[in-house]
Amino acid sequence: MANNNDLNKNSKVNVREMIANNKEKNSLSNITEKLVPTLLFLITAVSILTTIGIIYTLLSEAIEFFRRVPIWEFFTSVELDPFGPDPEFGILPLINGTIISSLIAMAVAGPIGLMTAVYLSEYASEKVRRTLKPLLEVLAGIPTIVYGFFAFTFVTPILQLIIPGLSLTNILSPGLVIGVMIIPMIASLSEDAMTSVPNSMREGALALGSTKLEVALKVVIPAAFSGIISSFVLAISRAIGETMIVAIASGSSKDFTFDITESMQTMTAYIVEISSGDISTGTTMYYSLYAVAITLFVFTLIMNLLARYISRKFREEY
């Protein structure tokens, strides 16, 4: 009997110890559960706060610029001469160069990227797809400064053999190379969109007598249209924001022209040129950097919002 009583006492003590330990663990667990959402919120807020900080920095400095240069003159004048005795700050030549280089890039990347996506999605075997897609992504990982020197030292001399009047620095060469650079973006995103189209749609079209090409062009591409358009818009945003290729190969001419064989300057190249120079803080030229930067920011923001809108509007649910 004594032994039984001792066992009961020991078991009661053990149970009490277990309950106390569980309470301590639960209290620590509750504290952890309360802290984790707060920690995750702070981590999430970093990107939002960074964006707000960037916008605040750009706006605060750009406002000072527009106090010195009328905003109407900035957005409508075709005269850009920040280094002259009577400086002119019209952004139209920069917008013109940016748009032309982006259009040339999309003329190269659009058809090639889309046809590459069609091949990978509809024609390539699984083994070929696993081989080619990583190779395309390697192309996207090449530093842009390498692309810039490639455009200046290799592409431009070849183009000069074809177009004798081509300037050493021109907008055509970097536009073509930017197009090559963004091919993987269009090809990869478009291929993902096409791959997500159900096979039942392909099989149904083939059963009705369609050829494989007709299935790709008339069934798969329309079904994946929202993803394809989104890839195009994101690629345009990438082309608009490209810096080193145009800074090296397009020159620094600030003339307002549509001649793609001549030197032009983009918004990003202007920022590189001015920030690399020996300019004093507080000058109009210094503040012009922020005015151009906020314009570039608005350009890319509009493109990203457009991509989201198109993706949601034309998205197909399967």
pLDDT given at position 134: 82
pLDDT tier at 154, thresholds 50, 70, 90:
very high
| Residue 99 in this model has a pLDDT that exceeds 70 | yes
Q: For every residue of 25-53, which 3-state class applies, written as one string?
A: HHHHHHHHHHHHHHHHHHHHHHHHHHHHH
Which 8-state DSSP code applies to residue 54? H
pLDDT tier at 129, thresholds 50, 70, 90:
confident
Q: Are 266 and 97 in contact (CB under 8 A)?
A: yes
| Residue 1 in this model has a pLDDT that exceeds 70 | no
Q: Are 145 and 248 in contact (CB under 8 A)?
A: yes
pLDDT given at position 26: 58
Q: Which tens digits make up the pLDDT trace of 168-199? A: 888 999 999 999 999 998 998 888 888 888 88
| Residue 39 in this model has a pLDDT that exceeds 50 | yes
pLDDT given at position 242: 86
Rounded distance between C-alpha atoms, residue 101 and residue 169, angstroms: 13
| Residue 3 in this model has a pLDDT that exceeds 90 | no
**In the chain, pLDDT over 70 holds for what percent of residues?**
87
pLDDT given at position 173: 92
Rounded distance between C-alpha atoms, residue 44 and residue 68, angstroms: 38
| Residue 7 in this model has a pLDDT that exceeds 50 | no
Which one, of 93, 55, 84, 91, lies nearest residue 70 by Cα? Answer: 91
The contacts of residue 231 (CB under 8 Å, 6+ apart) are: 113, 185, 186, 188, 189, 190, 193
Query: Lowest-pLDDT range, 42-56, 201-215, 235-249, 303-317?
Result: 303-317
| Residue 43 in this model has a pLDDT that exceeds 80 | yes
| Residue 118 in this model has a pLDDT that exceeds 80 | yes
pLDDT tier at 109, thresholds 50, 70, 90:
very high
Rounded distance between C-alpha atoms, residue 147 and residue 152, angstroms: 9
| Residue 98 in this model has a pLDDT that exceeds 60 | yes
| Residue 157 in this model has a pLDDT that exceeds 70 | yes
Average pLDDT over every residue of 99-125? 90
Residue 306 structure tokens: 């457009």
pLDDT given at position 244: 87
pLDDT given at position 259: 85
Q: Where are the beta strands (DSSP E) in the chain?
A: 80-81, 88-89
pLDDT tier at 27, thresholds 50, 70, 90:
low
- Considering the chain, what is the average pLDDT of its residues? 83
| Residue 315 in this model has a pLDDT that exceeds 70 | no
Average pLDDT over every residue of 95-105? 92
pLDDT given at position 15: 55
pLDDT given at position 178: 93
Residue 92 structure tokens: 């139209």
Q: What is the pTM assigned to this prediction?
A: 0.81
| Residue 317 in this model has a pLDDT that exceeds 90 | no
pLDDT given at position 17: 63
**In the block, which residue shows the tokens 């190779």?**
135
